[in-house]
Amino acid sequence: MHALRCLGLLVLYLVLITGSVSARSEPSKYMTDPSQVTGIKPQTLDLGGLWQFQVDPEGVGEQEGWNTSDFDDAGWLSVTVPHTWNVMPDYADYDGVAWYRLTFPVDAALSEAHFRLEFDAVFYKAHVWLNGVELGEHVGGYTAFSFDVAPQTDVENVLVVEVDNRRSPDRIPATLRGNWTYDWWNYGGLVRDVRLLVTDSIFIESQFITAEPDLVDSADIQVRTRIVNSLSTVADVYLTVSILDEATDALVWTEPGLTREIQLSPQEASEIELATTLPDPKLWHFDHPTLYVLAAELRDQEGNLLHQTETTFGIRKIEIKDARFYLNGEWVRLVGLSRHADSPEYGLAENVSIMASDYDDLKRLNMVFSRPVHYPQHDFILDYCDHNGILLIPEVPAWQLTAAQMSSVSMRELEKQQLREMIEHDFNHPSVWAWSLGN
């Protein structure tokens, strides 16, 4: 729909940063044997698959108790999440409210664990309940959000999401003038993955990595790590960070500057900053997209392993000078296309095989640059571009807004929220070199 579209971008912010901001909790090949983790073993429970689904054109769902644990949804349709109802013939043009319900167990052995419920994207407005308890809402159809939750381990848990994809002048993307709206499909639903992250009560929530080479023989690495203590007592822990070559698993750097002793107050989240200089780095380039892994371990005073994570990143330098684009000091010419997240069978809830097929074609066309249309992208696309050497300018969907909309305080706040969520999620990806505020 938008192939070969001109890159008419409102504002670009250059970034000299480089992996996926969420510090994943599943065991990693780069780290200590996960069997050595003391207490709760980090894991990810995939909540994709079969959910119950029902549209609510009259908006009576909450009044009739659709959000409660004991509501009987046996008469609802079964759908596979990720899902958009607009690929269903009966709801292809449906703009409105719909509901999703999932029943799932949690092992009793996890009764002392910390749980975080993550949604990669829900279009457009999500209202979420777990076991009849309201968790909150999220506005914005393409960015990830999460809730700290306390599922039960002795009964089946019921997760309920009310989704609203109605178009409106005060949403982004927006209805513009009269019936004129954005020119891509208004898919509604749980359009990307849903998961439950399981960790110890003391855990690494996220890591932000800044890597800047001097283009001679070293690179400055700065790491900002957010650690959470969900206990009601003080916790004394050690954070240790190492850098590995992603392709070979070889340890390339570890030294005292990447170790820190930390005291966490009860119910506290603390940000820890570490820094080092990496000698002789291999630079990320679209012809040779070298990647590194930042492996982090959190241990208690006795040396017991509490949590471990990994974050992929790259090292490269972007400069624009004399109206030219320089990558690692080399003047390069950027050629590429745009692509919508869309398919006849899955719509916006496209699967990995479809994304991989399209991007394989684009790479064969020698694409090295893309503004991937008007909204934040799926994790797979960001990772693909990291590994295959494609530069990206992700965008928030502030498409063709009117002067009145751009001057609206509430619209400005909504765009700031979506921009912040996109940047925090995409922060570590070396493929991302700028952010677009709109078209």
Compute CA distances 103 → 120, 138, 159, 356, whole Å: 19, 21, 6, 31
CA distance 50 to 80: 5
Output the CATH code of domain 12-16+318-436: 3.20.20.80
pLDDT at 23 exceeding the cut of 50: no
Q: CB atoms < 10 A from the CB of 429, how many?
A: 26
**Residues β-bridged to residue 164:** 97, 125
- The answer to whether 168 and 146 have CB atoms below 8 angstroms apart is no
Residues recorded for the chain = 439
pTM, full prediction: 0.91
The yes-or-no answer to whether 12-16+318-436 and 43-199 have a common fold is no
pLDDT at 155 exceeding the cut of 90: no
At residue 30, the pLDDT reads 53
At residue 394, the pLDDT reads 96
pLDDT in tens, 77-135: 999 999 999 999 999 999 999 999 999 999 999 999 999 999 999 999 999 999 999 99
pLDDT in tens, 262-272: 999 999 999 99
Residue 34's pLDDT band, with cuts at 50, 70 and 90, is low
Residue 35's pLDDT band, with cuts at 50, 70 and 90, is low
Q: How far apart are the first and last CA of the chain?
A: 15
- The domains of the chain are located at 12-16+318-436, 43-199, 202-313
At residue 1, the pLDDT reads 39
Residue 107 is given by DSSP the state: -
What percent of the chain has pLDDT above 90? 85
- 88: tokens are 């269903």
**Residues 178-185: what's their mean pLDDT?**
90
Helices 352-364 & 379-388, crossing angle to 10 degrees?
Answer: 30
pLDDT at 11 exceeding the cut of 90: no
Q: Which of 8-22, 187-201, 397-411 has the lowest mean pLDDT?
A: 8-22
At residue 254, the pLDDT reads 84
Q: Which of 206-220, 243-257, 354-368 has the lowest mean pLDDT?
A: 243-257
pLDDT in tens, 38-57: 668 889 999 999 999 999 99
What is the average pLDDT value for the chain, to the nearest integer?
91
- 380: tokens are 């797979």
List of residues 6+ apart from 407 with CB closer than 8 A: none
Q: Coil, strand or helix: which one is 375?
A: coil
Phi, psi for residue 95 in degrees, rounded to 5: -110, 115
Output the CATH code of domain 43-199: 2.60.120.260
Compute CA distances 273 → 156, 221, 257, 276, whole Å: 40, 11, 10, 11
pLDDT in tens, 184-206: 999 999 999 999 999 999 999 99
At residue 256, the pLDDT reads 73
At residue 20, the pLDDT reads 35
Alpha-helix residue ranges (DSSP H) falling in 134-210: none
Count the helices and strands in the chain (H runs, E runs).
4, 27
- 156: tokens are 């089946």
What percent of the chain has pLDDT above 70? 91
At residue 22, the pLDDT reads 39
- 60: tokens are 């009576």
Output the CATH code of domain 202-313: 2.60.40.10
Residue 202 is given by DSSP the state: E
pLDDT at 396 exceeding the cut of 50: yes
